[in-house]
């Protein structure tokens, strides 16, 4: 019997994904849906990603004042993304997600990037979708529970910053609400939880040991979260021989998502030897995509999942 590509991909499974049986052998993750092609973290972006044939939707979560999980990257409404109910662009950072209700959040239009902004210039192929609202996680669950999308996984990020606690939910409470939402939606076998703030991941594992957690890292001037125990739930790099893969393994995460520019081939091999899945973010350049596939990463998180797909197709 001749197997289709999807059957081949899904028959092999991913050993690092404890809740996936079976799963894709190479995980194409659409970053914020498909930010390069549609407004980030909107239903339009998730629809675009599904139409392109991703394996996983990557998305960011916030928790509103009235306890709803909403899909947004920023701790405060982003003035390059959000327009108020009158259609006016925000003059500066808007209210914090934790300080407003779902009804208030959904008065904002997030369907296009502010014309003339540097952010808009970074995504010249993004097709606006005026009228798009910040969705709830429940709405995204519904998308992937529809016929034709039931094979798609979600990689949900708890957006937290331990250095700005006033703008964030309390990490344990955030984890509890996420686990509860995943269970209530019957999505326990299709979700992983990722974070730069490993406190929420530890709580997810405590509440739901079978739910895979993914440790995000960046070692860049704007943030080096592995060098600061406030981000790593108290784990110190020095106690793990200065090895990020060993630190990630010690955290209990089953996969590691490093900033792609930080990853060396030696570190990839070390992580793989420890049994970690390695999924770099956010890989948009075709040369980087080709190189990292050659290196043998488990998957790629990209604003342009179509590029990852075409690179794989050529092989
Ligand atoms: O999945 C990892 C990636 O999304 C982390 O970066 O800032 O886009 O959430 P960010
Ligand atoms: Ca993210």
Residue linked to tokens 């021989």: 241
Give the H or E element holding residue 5: helix 5-12
Closest ligand to C-alpha of residue 222 is: 1
Q: Give the distance (Å) from ligand 2 centre to CA of residue 193.
A: 10
**For residue 243, what are the contacts with CB-CB under 8 A and spacing of at least 6?**
237, 267, 270
Please report, for residues 15, 33, 123, the alpha-carbon distance to residue 119 in angstroms, rounded to integers and kept in the order given: 37, 17, 7
| pTM: predicted TM-score of the whole model, two decimal places | 0.94
Ligand 1 atom closest to the CA of 29, numbered from 1: 1
Residue nearest ligand 1's atom 2 by CA: 281
Query: pLDDT of the chain along its 315 residues, tens only?
Result: 444 444 444 444 455 666 654 555 899 999 999 999 999 999 999 999 999 999 999 999 999 999 999 999 999 999 999 999 999 999 999 999 999 999 999 999 999 999 999 999 999 999 999 999 999 999 999 999 999 999 999 999 999 999 999 999 999 999 999 999 999 999 999 999 999 999 999 999 999 999 999 999 999 999 999 999 999 999 999 999 999 999 999 999 999 999 999 999 999 999 999 999 999 999 999 999 999 999 999 999 999 999 999 999 998
Residue nearest ligand 1's atom 7 by CA: 73
Tell me what pLDDT residue 39 has. Answer: 98
Q: Give the distance (Å) from ligand 2 centre to CA of residue 54.
A: 16
Please report, for residues 126, 175, 301, the alpha-carbon distance to residue 201 in angstroms, rounded to integers and kept in the order given: 32, 7, 19
| Strand 153-158, strand 56-63: pairing | parallel
* Residue among 215, 220, 210 at smallest CA distance from 199: 215
Q: In the Cβ-directed half-sphere of 248, how many Cα atoms lie within 13 Å?
A: 31
Residue range 82-93, pLDDT digits in tens: 999 999 999 999
Which of 54, 60, 225, 231 has most ligand 1 atoms within 8 Å of CB, for mutation?
60
Q: Are 178 and 158 in contact (CB under 8 A)?
A: yes
Angle at 188 between CA 186 and CA 192, to 5 degrees: 135
Tell me what pLDDT residue 315 has. Answer: 86
Tell me what pLDDT residue 56 has. Answer: 97
Q: Which residues line ligand 1 (CB under 6 A)?
A: 31, 58, 60, 73, 157, 194, 216, 257, 281-282, 301
Residue range 234-270, pLDDT digits in tens: 999 999 999 999 999 999 999 999 999 999 999 999 9
Tell me what pLDDT residue 15 has. Answer: 58
Tell me what pLDDT residue 233 has. Answer: 98
Closest ligand to C-alpha of residue 282 is: 1
Q: Give the distance (Å) from ligand 2 centre to CA of residue 3.
A: 33
Tell me what pLDDT residue 7 has. Answer: 42
Q: Are 43 and 136 in contact (CB under 8 A)?
A: no
Residue nearest ligand 1's atom 10 by CA: 73
Q: Is 285 left (phi over 0), alpha (psi -120 to 50) or beta?
A: beta
Tell me what pLDDT residue 16 has. Answer: 60
Q: Give the distance (Å) from ligand 1 centre to CA of residue 29.
A: 11
Residue nearest ligand 1's atom 5 by CA: 281
Tell me what pLDDT residue 20 has. Answer: 55
Please report, for residues 119, 152, 219, the alpha-carbon distance to residue 14 in angstroms, rounded to integers and kept in the order given: 35, 14, 27
Closest ligand to C-alpha of residue 155 is: 1
Which of 29, 32, 58 has most ligand 1 atoms within 8 Å of CB, for mutation?
58
| Strand 27-30, strand 56-63: pairing | parallel
């Amino acid at each position: 019997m001749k197997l289709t590509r999807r059957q081949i991909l899904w028959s092999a499974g991913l050993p690092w994904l404890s809740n996936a049986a079976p799963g894709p052998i190479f995980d194409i993750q659409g970053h914020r849906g498909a930010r390069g092609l549609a407004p980030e973290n909107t239903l339009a972006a998730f629809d675009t990603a599904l139409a392109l044939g991703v394996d996983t939707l990557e998305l960011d979560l916030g928790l509103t004042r009235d306890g709803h999980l909403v899909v947004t990257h920023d701790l405060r409404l982003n003035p390059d993304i959000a327009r108020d109910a009158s259609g006016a662009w925000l003059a500066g950072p808007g209210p914090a997600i934790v300080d407003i209700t779902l009804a208030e959040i959904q008065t904002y239009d997030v369907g296009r990037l502010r014309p003339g902004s540097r952010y808009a210039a970074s995504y010249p192929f993004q097709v606006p979708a005026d009228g798009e609202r910040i969705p709830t996680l429940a709405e995204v669950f519904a998308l992937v529970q529809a016929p034709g999308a039931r094979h798609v996984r979600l990689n949900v990020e708890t957006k937290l910053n331990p250095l700005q606690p006033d703008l964030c939910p309390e990490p344990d409470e955030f984890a509890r609400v996420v686990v509860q939402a995943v269970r209530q939606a019957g999505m326990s076998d299709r979700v992983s939880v990722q974070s730069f703030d490993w406190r929420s991941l530890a709580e997810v594992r405590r509440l739901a040991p079978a739910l895979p957690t993914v440790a995000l890292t960046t070692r860049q001037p704007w943030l080096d979260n592995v060098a600061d125990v406030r981000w790593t739930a108290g784990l110190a790099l020095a106690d793990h021989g200065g090895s990020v893969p060993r630190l990630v393994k010690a955290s209990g995460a089953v996969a590691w998502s490093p900033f792609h520019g930080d990853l060396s081939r030696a570190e990839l091999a070390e992580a793989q030897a420890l049994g970690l899945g390695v999924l770099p973010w956010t890989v948009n350049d075709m040369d980087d995509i080709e190189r990292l596939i050659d290196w043998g990463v488990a998957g790629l998180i990209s604003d342009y999942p179509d590029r990852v797909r075409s690179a794989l197709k050529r092989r």
